[in-house]
Amino acid sequence: MSEEKNTLNHSQKVDWKNRIIWILLVTTFWYIFVLSSIEQILFGGALSSISPLNVPNEVRFAMLFYLSTIVSFIGILVYTRVTKRNRFIFRSFMPSAAGNRLSLLFWGLLVGFVMNFGCIVWALLAGDIKLFLNFTANQIPFFLFALVCVFIQSSTEELWCRGFMYERINVHYPLWIAILVNGLFFAALHMSNPGAGVLPIIDIAICGLSYSIAKWYTGSIWFPMGIHTAWNFTQNFLFGLPNSGLVSEASVFGLDAASAQDTWIYDVAFGVEGAIPAVLGDLVLGVVCLMLAARQGRLGELKQTKVTPHKDPAGPQPMYEYKYAVDNDASEWHYTDTQ
């Protein structure tokens, strides 16, 4: 088969259900409108009807802004499992998928903590924020509960962006397009957050791009899940700083809000992720992953479509392949599911 014949014209060959605009619409419909609305009804309505005496404010906060996303977490698992064309994405979330090792999850947690802690130390040394110890031993059960809640929330965003959207786009489009589109979509998700401005949204867009590159380099969705979880938990529940504009009701350290200053190192409304150090940290993550990939000669993968999920031990997965006709010109995209 000639090289010229292998070159696909995606504007002609990709059916409408696999075009980027349709994938964006599907993600927005299910994740933003349907599942998020259910979350507000189930958690917002239920918590507003429960007396504060029965549910402490810190628990109420963790449930409303973090645990509530369990609806979208379960939703993406169900959706990718029951829809035939998305079943290979479901498998990519599972422990059986190549790269999904506990060690990478823990490495992600470490990387996320170091990145966020570095930004906080920078702001402390610059005098832009002041912290005080706000911890008692009887809070330990709450912080463990909060960690689980943050993991669910952070993982939900990763499964929809670096999971569903990334994988579906990369079936028909080059990897760099999948990285770019889901990174920008990730930034758009945060545009309505309290205190969101130009620099915070730029940082979140870079964050989304870097997390996507990290997912590609490691071959694991669990790695960015770990980074995302540690970042959110560190700034919101360890140090009491705003997490995308949201301030926790309880934290190991507390912020002296009256002393906080709006500078290029710290954003009073949005926290450290709305300032230059976070931008630099996210850039470093992406660049380091690209450099490591370059040393392995893998940069060419950024131009490729994912016909078969990388190193999947389950063998051939549900996929779209372009089948060239032998006896006539009736070439077309053909969907197959071997399981």
Q: What is the pLDDT of residues 129-152, one digit of tens each?
A: 999 999 999 999 999 999 999 999
Residue 285, pLDDT above cutoff 70: yes
pLDDT digits (tens, 9 = 90+) for 236-276: 999 999 998 899 999 999 999 899 999 999 999 999 999 99
Q: Would 3 be classed as within a structural domain?
A: no
Residues 6+ apart with CB under 8 A from 149: 62, 63, 66, 67
- Count of other CB atoms within 10 angstroms of residue 84: 10
Average pLDDT over residues 64-93: 95
Q: Would 2 be classed as within a structural domain?
A: no
Contact 225, 302 (CB under 8 A): no
Contact 120, 273 (CB under 8 A): no
Q: Would 1 be classed as within a structural domain?
A: no
Residues 6+ apart with CB under 8 A from 247: 236, 240, 241, 255
Residue 42, pLDDT above cutoff 50: yes
User: Which run of H or of E encompasses 36?
Assistant: helix 36-39
Q: What is the pLDDT of residue 32?
A: 93
pLDDT digits (tens, 9 = 90+) for 6-28: 344 444 467 788 899 999 999 99
Contact 62, 149 (CB under 8 A): yes
Residue 188, pLDDT above cutoff 90: yes
Q: Give the closest residue to 161 by CA, choosing from 133, 130, 184.
A: 184
Q: What is the pLDDT of residue 85?
A: 84
Q: How many domains does the chain have?
A: 1
Q: What is the pLDDT of residue 338?
A: 41
Average pLDDT over residues 285-301: 96
> What's the number of CA atoms in the CB half-sphere (13 Å) around residue 247?
12
Q: What is the pLDDT of residue 49?
A: 67
* Structural domain containing residue 38: 8-336
- Concatenating the DSSP letter of every residue in 103-156 gives HHHHHHHHHHHHHHHHHHHHHHHTTS--EEE---GGGHHHHHHHHHHHHHHHHH
Q: What is the pLDDT of residue 22?
A: 95
pLDDT digits (tens, 9 = 90+) for 84-124: 889 989 999 999 888 899 999 999 999 999 999 999 999 99
pLDDT digits (tens, 9 = 90+) for 311-325: 444 444 444 443 333
Q: What is the mean pLDDT of the chain?
A: 87
Q: Would 202 be classed as within a structural domain?
A: yes
pLDDT digits (tens, 9 = 90+) for 207-239: 999 999 999 999 999 999 999 999 999 999 999
